[in-house]
């Protein structure tokens, strides 16, 4: 009897791996994890800014994805679907944390008008003349200084490309709150980037 053909996981595209995984093939799923783990982890890290938390949430996202694989019908790419799962888990976690932590001063400032909101916009490009890697590093540092609520809106809008309405639905706030948080987050980020530029100027 001829030996059955061995599945070539690394050379199979995502949709093929998904189909095998839906039939219970964990090796196909492992290949999907291997392909997209950095992106999923990076998204969790951007939201949470905590290595262990991001690691746990990204792994939890993969477990959830396995349990819900039958719900994936290819309306979006597998990576997009996975990103949605991990972001939802991060938002749940942020909500839980918000319940136990008191509102930050920064948040209260935002509600009251905010320092950055009233600050005049500077015309200097804070990343001008910097190498790509350095710009990334500075953005990362500045993102880490935003509150989870502001960071979440910024990530969903700028990196996930969601519209105000979609963000409002995902987070469970009004469109007005999304607009306000996005505005504040952008101004705060611009202000932090300016600050980093000044700090590092000789």
Partner 1 sequence: MKNETYLELQACLDGERDALRCAELEAQCAQEPELGALRDQILQSREVLRQHEPDHRVPVSREFYWRQIERQITPENRTHTSSNPWMPSWGAALRWLVPIGGLAAAAALFQLPDSPDPASQTTSGARSVETTQLALNSGAPESTSVEYRSESDGVTIHWIH
Residues from 81 through 140 that contact partner 1 (CB under 8 A): 113, 117, 120-123, 125-127, 132, 135-137, 139-140
Count Cα neighbours of 189 within 13 Å in the Cβ-side half-sphere: 22
In terms of C-beta density within 10 A (0-12 exposed, 13-18 middle, 19 or more buried), how is residue 36 classed? buried
Q: Which is nearer to partner 1, 1 or 147 (CB)?
A: 147
Number of residues that bind partner 1 (CB under 8 A): 54
* Residue 4 C-beta: closest distance to partner 1, Å: 22
CB 82 within 8 A of CB 65: yes
Contacting residue, 7, 12, 25, 66, with partner 1 by CB under 8 A:
66
Query: Taking CB under 8 A as the rule, which mask of x and - marks residues 20-39 in contact with partner 1?
Result: ------x--xx--xx--xx-
* Residue 2 C-beta: closest distance to partner 1, Å: 29
Q: Which is nearer to partner 1, 17 or 46 (CB)?
A: 46
CB 150 within 8 A of CB 109: no
| Interaction of residue 63 with partner 1, rule CB under 8 A | yes
Distances (CA, A) of 18 to 4, 74, 85: 20, 9, 16
Distances (CA, A) of 150 to 30, 76, 129, 188: 34, 26, 27, 9
| Interaction of residue 42 with partner 1, rule CB under 8 A | yes
Dihedral over Cα of 101, 102, 104, 110: its sign: positive
In the chain, the N- to C-terminal Cα span, in Å, equals 75
Contacting residue, 62, 89, 110, 171, with partner 1 by CB under 8 A:
62
Dihedral over Cα of 169, 84, 63, 92: its sign: negative
Residues that bind partner 1 (CB under 8 A): 26, 29-30, 33-34, 37-38, 41-42, 45-46, 51, 54-56, 58-60, 62-63, 66-67, 113, 117, 120-123, 125-127, 132, 135-137, 139-140, 143, 154, 157-159, 163-164, 176, 179-180, 182-183, 186-187, 189-190, 193
């Amino acid at each position: 009897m001829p030996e059955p053909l061995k599945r070539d996981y690394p050379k199979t595209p995502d949709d093929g791996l998904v189909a095998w995984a839906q039939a219970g093939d964990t090796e196909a799923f492992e290949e999907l994890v291997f392909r997209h783990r950095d992106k999923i982890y990076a998204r969790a890290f951007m939201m949470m800014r905590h290595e262990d938390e991001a690691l746990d949430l990204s792994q939890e996202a993969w477990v959830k994805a396995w349990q819900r694989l039958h719900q994936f019908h290819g309306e979006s790419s597998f990576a997009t679907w996975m990103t949605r799962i991990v972001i939802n888990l991060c938002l749940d976690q942020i909500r839980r944390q918000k319940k136990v932590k008191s509102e930050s001063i920064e948040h209260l400032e935002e509600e009251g008008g905010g320092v950055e909101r009233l600050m005049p916009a500077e015309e200097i490009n804070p990343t001008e003349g910097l190498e790509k890697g350095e710009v990334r590093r500075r953005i990362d540092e500045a993102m880490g200084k935003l509150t989870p609520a502001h960071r979440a809106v910024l990530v969903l809008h700028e990196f996930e490309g969601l519209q105000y309405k979609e963000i409002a639905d995902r987070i469970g706030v009004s469109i007005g709150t999304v607009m306000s948080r996005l505005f504040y987050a952008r101004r705060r980020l611009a202000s932090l980037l300016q600050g980093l530029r000044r700090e590092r100027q000789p």
